[in-house]
Structure 1
Amino acid sequence: MFIAKESKGITLKESLEEKLLKYFKAKACNINIISFFYNTPRIFKKLILYALAQKKTVLYITNENVNDVFLVNILREEGVICNYLGPQLTTSLKSGLNVVNHNGALYLDEKFDLVIYDDINSMPLYNKECIKKLLESCCADYGTMIAYSVEQVFTSEVTLFQCPNNNGKPLIEPRIINTRINVNEDLPLVVYDYLKWSIISNKKVVIYVPDDKKVDNIYNYLINFKDELTKNIFSYKSCGKKHESLTKFLAKAKAIMVTNCFENSDVDLTGINVMVFFAEDEIFNYKKLVYLSSRASRSKSLERGEVIFLSNELSEDMDNAKDILRELNKRAWEAGFLNL
């Protein structure tokens, strides 16, 4: 991953905000901001307020829930009018923030002076080429495009880095366990020991699997060991709504949940241990693996979770995910944000 020398000077949120403003005033065409999932989009506040004051049109692309867009809540506190361009594609604002998701942005005819794509505050759904093409299609001539992502989207000399802020602790890097065992039918002893250790340590565990069938397989296997592990073993299939089993899992001090629901960004799963079974499955691309790994890094306390990828073989995406997290920690260390 390439990060320009510019990133090494970023040690404070305020300096990053100032650099964004400087590049926008200089009419920079495209800017990469490399960050980690769940980081704050507050860094865009000063830039957007300036752009609106200059009568520029602003578009913010995010796949967050329409009622829970973090940046909208921040800007409304400043009196900024925000308009969500939903399915009906209502008229865009000339004096406020226009918000749209990726699919909605595909149908926009209007071009904007400043376009920001936030790939950080929701589950990543699109690769960097899709993001780049969408930004280019929405941006006016001589406008500025900003890609806020875990990776470089533009081949650009303007690549900035937003440092982690986890009480001086690094982001959790995954531990990879490869096994020849058919995980649908059995688990390696080291995984069983890890689950047992987690429960003894009063840690909850979320086990992510690719599909409904594997949810059933892993749940039915683990339930045989409820006396040795915990009676609080739950399964939660992706059904679009919060399920009773998820509510029970969140309420228990020692619990294991097997799920193929990767979103639930509004559910507090901080400080948990994360396991990804069948991590080599094609559904787990590298950005999704980084996203799931980040669940273990969200806790503000010193007691954070751990991450394990379990697979029959090592995939390129697993390697890439680990490399991205290592690079983010390296840059945070160079910027003086980590205390090891």
Structure 2
Amino acid sequence: MSGELAERLKEWYEKSLNKALNLVTVPYMGIGPVRELCESVLESDGRLLYITGDEKDSQLLTDTLFDGILPEGLEQNLTICGYQDALSASGEYDLAIYDDVNSFPFRRKGEVQNLIGYIFPRCKRLIAYSFEEILLNVESFEIPMGGTGEYVSEPRIIETRVNIDDEIPVSIYEYLLWFVYEMKNVLVFTGDRIKSRRLTRYLAKVDDSIMSYVTDVNMVGTLGMTELVKDTTRAHIFFADDIDDFIKVPVNFEIIVHGADSPQYNYRELLFLCLRSGYCNDENGEVIFLCQAQTPDIERTKNMTRHFNKVLWEKGYTSES
């Protein structure tokens, strides 16, 4: 991460009158932007509270700072915990960081704000490390995706009058045919198990031949998906009723959210899917939101992806520059 950012964070930590800071970047950015500050706090015998979304974040921090092995005796100065454990974390901290970037955001923004409000009185400095501004009336540093020529997949919005609880519109069927032809890995989110069954039955009636590429995630799990995608000579279409990023499956996905206007999907989750489509390499997949009407969450996701790409372009990070 740039030396300029490290210096800005150091100056904020040592001199700023503002106790808290928003550090805004794209999902899955990693620990790089806060690494030097974390190291500096620990080297000066300061206490660091690092709140993660899941176990993967915890391992990412340990791997980045200590090559996977936590030094002996550091436990008293470094606390790494998830959301629930942070609610019972005790003691005073020189620096607290809430990492909202490196794991799928199952927590809503209001929940994150509530937790930060709970720990705020017990830390000297606090960073909300997120893809959006979490804290109000504080300074914000924005970090572009950074120097790899990558970009964020902007979602393609398809509106239809078809009853999408029971049917797959022709446009989505044609996309599936194209993905099969191109031997792509596809994730289709349906929202619930009953709808998954209805849609796969409908697809079988329309074109039974395509069913040889279809797999129910509930039947195989993440390990089964990982084994299936090793066969790169054919397409794989995974139907999932629960939204997740399936980050342990080491491929990019073409992603279809069938019924993206459902209240169960919010912009935080939809945004992460846009980044997930290009997580493993620079060959980004398509992200398609099928809906009967665009919702504020869909609009916000679209605007956020465009903003990230605009920042990349203006900073000269894109490969076209």
Q: TM-score, normalised by structure 1?
A: 0.84
Q: Is the 8 A contact 2:24 2:141 kept in 1?
A: yes
Which residue number corresponds to residue 172 of structure 1?
A: 153
Partner SS, residue 338 of structure 1: coil
The structural deviation recorded for 1:323 is: 1.1
In the alignment, the residues of structure 1 paired with residue 10 and residue 182 of structure 2 have an alpha-carbon distance, to the nearest angstrom, of 46
Offset at 1:249? 4.9
Q: 1:82 to 1:295 in 2, by over 3 A?
A: farther
Q: Which residue of the other structure, out of 41, 44, 53, is the alignment partner of 2:43?
A: 53
Q: Distance in 2 between matches of 1:318 and 1:200?
A: 29
1:65-94 CA-to-partner distances (Å, cap 9, x unmatched) read 2696211111122975499xxxxxxxx944
Pairing 1:43–2:23 present: no
- Taking structure 1 as reference, are residues 212 and 247 closer, same or farther at Cα in structure 2, changes over 3 Å only? farther
Q: Which moved more, 1:31-40 or 1:244-253?
A: 244-253
Retained in 2: the 8 A contact 1:35–1:161? yes
Which of 241, 244, 255 lines up with 1:274 in the alignment? 255
| Native 8 Å contact 1:236 1:261 kept in 2 | no
Say what the alpha-carbon RMSD is for the aligned residues: 2.7
Match of 2:181 among 193, 200, 211: 200
Whether the 8 Å contact between 1:38 and 1:120 is mirrored in structure 2 is yes
Q: Which residue of 1 aligns with 2:290?
A: 310
> Is the contact between residue 219 and residue 234 of structure 1 (CA under 8 Å) also seen in structure 2?
no
Kindly indicate whether the alpha-carbon contact (under 8 Å) linking 1:115 and 1:144 is maintained by their aligned counterparts in 2: yes
For the pair 1:232 / 2:213, whether they are aligned, the reply is yes
1:326 maps to which of 287, 303, 306 = 306
TM-superposed deviation, 1:283: 1.3
| Structure 2 CA distance for aligned equivalents of residues 82 and 268 of structure 1 | 33
Q: 2:129 aligns with which of 142, 148, 156?
A: 148
Distance 2:226 2:217 in 1: 7
Query: Which of 22, 26, 36 is matched with 2:15 structurally?
Result: 26
Answer whether contact 1:209 1:277 (CA < 8 A) is retained: yes
Shift of 1:314: 1.1
Hey, what does 1:17 align to over in structure 2?
6
Partners of 1:250 and 1:102 in 2: CA distance: 34
Consecutive unaligned residues in structure 2, runs of 5 or more = none
Per-residue deviation, 1:312: 1.3
- Does residue 263 (structure 1) correspond to residue 244 (structure 2)? The answer is yes
Distance change in 2, residues 1:67/1:37 (3 Å): closer
Task: Give the aligned residue type for 2:309.
Answer: N
Q: Secondary structure at the match of 2:222?
A: coil
Of residues 127, 136, 145 in structure 1, which corresponds to 2:108?
Answer: 127
How far did 1:165 drift?
Answer: 3.9
| Structure 2 residue corresponding to 1:337, chosen from 286, 310, 317 | 317
Question: In structure 2, what is the Cα distance between the partners aligned to 1:283 and 1:110?
Answer: 36
Alpha carbons of structure 1 residues 123 and 78: separation in structure 2 relative to 1, 3 Å = closer
Which of 53, 64, 70 is the equivalent residue of 1:63?
Answer: 53
CA distance in 2, matches of 1:243, 1:75: 28
Shift of 1:206: 0.8
The structural deviation recorded for 1:179 is: 0.5
Shift of 1:332: 1.7
Residue 178 to residue 331, structure 1, CA distance change in 2 (3 Å)? same
- 2:64 is the counterpart of 1:114: no
Q: State how far apart, in whole Å, the 1-side matches of 2:165 and 2:275 are.
A: 25
In structure 2, what is the equivalent of residue 86 of structure 1?
Answer: none
CA shift for structure 1 position 197: 1.3
Give percent identity, aligned residues only. Answer: 24
Tell me the alpha carbon deviations over residues 149-174 of structure 1, each in whole angstroms, 9 at most, x when there is no partner.
11101124421122114731320000
The residue type paired with residue 330 of structure 1 is K
Structure 2 CA distance for partners of 1:65 and 1:285, relative to 1, 3 Å: same
- How far, CA to CA, are the matches of 2:154 and 2:289 in structure 1? 10
Equivalent-residue separation in structure 1 for 2:123 and 2:58 (angstroms): 31
**In structure 2, C-alpha distance between the alignment counterparts of 1:332 and 1:186, rounded to whole Å:** 38
Count of residues in correspondence between the two structures: 318
